[in-house]
Amino acid sequence: MSGQGLQSPDRLVYYQKFVSRNLTTRYDHPVMSFKVISARRRYLLSFLALVLLLGASLSTQYLLEQRSHGRATKLEQLRLLPKGEILRPALLGYHQLGADLLWLRVVQVLGDRVVRDKDYEWLYHALDVITTVDPKYVYAYEAGGVVLAELAGRVDLSNRLLEKGLAPNTSSWQIPFRLGFNHFFHLGDHSRAAEYMAQAARIPGLFPIGPPHYTARLASRLYVQGKNPEVALEFLEAMLDQTTDELLREKLQRRIRRISLERDLQMLEQQIRQYADSRGRRPASLMELVLAGLLPGIPSEPYGGDYLYDSKTGKVMSSTHDERMGVYVPADSLATRGDIE
Amino acid sequence: MRILSIAINTFRENLREKLLYNLLFFALLMIGSSILLSRITLGDYHRLILDLGLASINLFGVLIAIFVGIGLVSKEVDRKTIYTIVSKPIPRYEFLLGKYCGLVITLFANTVVMVVGLLIVLQVMDVPITSLVFKSLALIFLELMVITAVAVLFSTFTSATLSAIFTLAVYVIGHLSGDLKEFARKLDDVSQMAVNAIYYTLPNLDRFNLKGHVIHHLDFGMADMALTLAYGLTYAAFLLLLASVIFQRRDFQ
């Protein structure tokens, strides 16, 4: 090729420079004419298009996010989980990992500030799936049981979950322990609570593989004097010992304070009765009990109030709480006889 | 000796695969990510780290076994390099065995890298390293050996894409074959025998899965371990023999 043609290097360079300076040019040829878009302009256009498309996809994504509020989708995913029986074979031997990832999802939902009541149904469903996929995931039963009973107030679901975990985890004390707690604390069924506690106590091993040392004593005391506030306190303090979650600890501590109040009231009234039995009259004030040597001192009221004594009826009241806790009032003589050990 | 030189050659060839490094990178990324995930979970974070680590080693090992294994023979056929080998006085089964050993060496090297990654993570996160972890890793490697044998088997008579699909299918079936036995129980005697026969012929890859044992601290006795090892090795040997028979009869055009 000679240097005269259109393809000649000099001309081509000149042509390209011309085009890039003017961005577009018309190229007229004897047969046809066409518009040439310069390389610079092409880059500019594609860059603009890229920015535009990215912006559009980001904003639509944002809009979608706004519509679903994020949390709803998280819950939606829990609700739409397939049944554990179906999910399990699909995991091809990665059951535990599947359970872990689902648990991670559940934890994220729990971390949200507002969880509505009906959301706990989905939570139960998710926990059910997790424990079907990995029936030996003791922590999921345990923590799930706590959340369902204490945060959701769904003791029925909590018990259902925990009872499901009993059979595949015969060497776990946590599940029967938690069941015992539910039966005692929420259902007031002391004999069932005692049975579960005894079941937990039978698991061999040292804590934390085996149950805490006081489990057997708790079980025996529950059998005999389930309604005694002392037993309740012992139980609750044992639970407090094992709970690290702040929210639950606070709940338990609140309960402990309330029951300590009831214990003090019962103790004071018992001393008053004893005083009346021996002297033939009721004491005029609580101080008289101390002076008579029946009490080392008047216990301090757990809420910072005072104990008010009505010398006519022999009843003691708290200045902060005017209601008594029904469950813990001793109903049988055994409860007042003290510890059976 | 000839097998060994083919094996070493295959190993060298495999090291040039870019796919291998990609998969290895993602495996290490996943093992490392367990540190991050363990921070946002509630409760047993040991479990999550062990689980994610073992599962990553298993999954990426299987992917490496499949995607590197399928090309072993078919690539040689495509490149026509197979002629230079089959024309030499080397029995074909030796060639196949050498290829298999080369891939197993590759897998071993990869697994070692992933295991070191996992051990570092476990050490950093203060997760106790028990003997069960190593038992589980040994069985994962055994599973990889079986999968590789499957890949080699398919690679002797079909194209790379088809063998990839078949091998993946065998992997899935291998983990579901336990269910076959469950189904069989509900059938009448004759069908039960047929289904059971299928069950025993198919590999039961769930036998090599000790991840649950590690996480739930369930003991896996030495007798069980020995039996499982014997099962895996004999099954892989069976597959390789079958592959050799097919390869022997194959006509390269």
- As beta bridge partners, residue A318 has A307
**Looking at residue A331, what is its pLDDT?**
34
CA dist B206 and B179 (Å) reads 11
Q: Does the beta-carbon distance from B209 to A108 stay under 8 Å?
A: no
- Which of chain A's residues have a Cβ under 8 Å away from the Cβ of B215? 96
Number of Cβ within a 10 Å radius of residue B198: 14
Q: How far is CA A251 from CA A147, A151, A245, in A?
A: 12, 10, 10
- Which of chain B's residues have a Cβ under 8 Å away from the Cβ of A108? 40
Q: What is the pLDDT of residues B184-226, one digit of tens each?
A: 888 888 888 888 888 888 899 989 999 888 888 888 889 999 9
Mutate to test the interface with A, among B41, B56, B209 (most CBs of A within 10 A): B41
Selecting from A97, A103, A107 the residue whose C-beta is nearest the C-beta of B55 gives A97
Assign residue A69 a region: left if phi > 0, alpha if psi is -120 to 50, beta otherwise?
left
Least confident of A41-50, A302-311, B97-106, B177-186: B177-186
Q: Does the beta-carbon distance from B47 to A108 stay under 8 Å?
A: no
Q: Does the beta-carbon distance from A92 to B47 stay under 8 Å?
A: no
**Looking at residue A23, what is its pLDDT?**
57
Confidence tier at A25 by pLDDT (50, 70, 90):
low
- Chain A residues with at least one Cβ partner in B under 8 Å: 89, 92-97, 100, 103-104, 107-108, 110, 134, 136, 139, 143
Q: What is the pLDDT of residues B108-153, one digit of tens each?
A: 999 999 999 999 999 998 888 999 999 999 999 999 999 999 999 9
- Asked whether residue A31 carries a pLDDT value surpassing 70, the answer given is no
Q: What is the pLDDT of residues A265-304, one digit of tens each?
A: 888 888 898 888 888 888 888 888 888 888 888 888 888 8
The tokens describing B24, both together, are 């290895």
Q: Which residue would you say has higher pLDDT here, B191 or A80?
A: B191
Name the minimum distance, in Å, from the CA of B232 to any CA of chain A. Answer: 17
Number of Cβ within a 10 Å radius of residue A113: 5
Q: Which residue would you say has higher pLDDT here, A108 or B102?
A: B102
Domain span including residue B101: 2-249
pLDDT, averaged across chain A:
79
The tokens describing A35, both together, are 């518009």
ipTM of the complex: 0.81
Selecting from A94, A95, A107 the residue whose C-beta is nearest the C-beta of B42 gives A107
Q: Does the beta-carbon distance from B51 to A143 stay under 8 Å?
A: no
Name the minimum distance, in Å, from the CA of A103 to any CA of chain B. Answer: 8
Selecting from B41, B58, B176 the residue whose C-beta is nearest the C-beta of A103 gives B41
Q: What is the pLDDT of residues A194-244, one digit of tens each?
A: 889 889 988 887 777 888 877 877 777 777 766 678 877 887 788 788 777
Tell me which chain A residue has its CA closest to the CA of residue B171: A92
Q: Which backbone phi and psi does A335 adopt, to 5 degrees?
A: -65, -30
Mutate to test the interface with A, among B50, B215, B217, B219 (most CBs of A within 10 A): B215
Which stretches within B186-221 are classed as H helix? 189-201, 211-215
* Structural domains in chain B (count): 1
Q: Does the beta-carbon distance from A96 to B51 stay under 8 Å?
A: yes
Rg of the Cα trace of chain B? 20
This prediction's pTM: 0.73
**Looking at residue B217, what is its pLDDT?**
85
pLDDT, averaged across chain B:
89
Q: Does the beta-carbon distance from A134 to B176 stay under 8 Å?
A: no
- Asked whether residue A330 carries a pLDDT value surpassing 50, the answer given is no
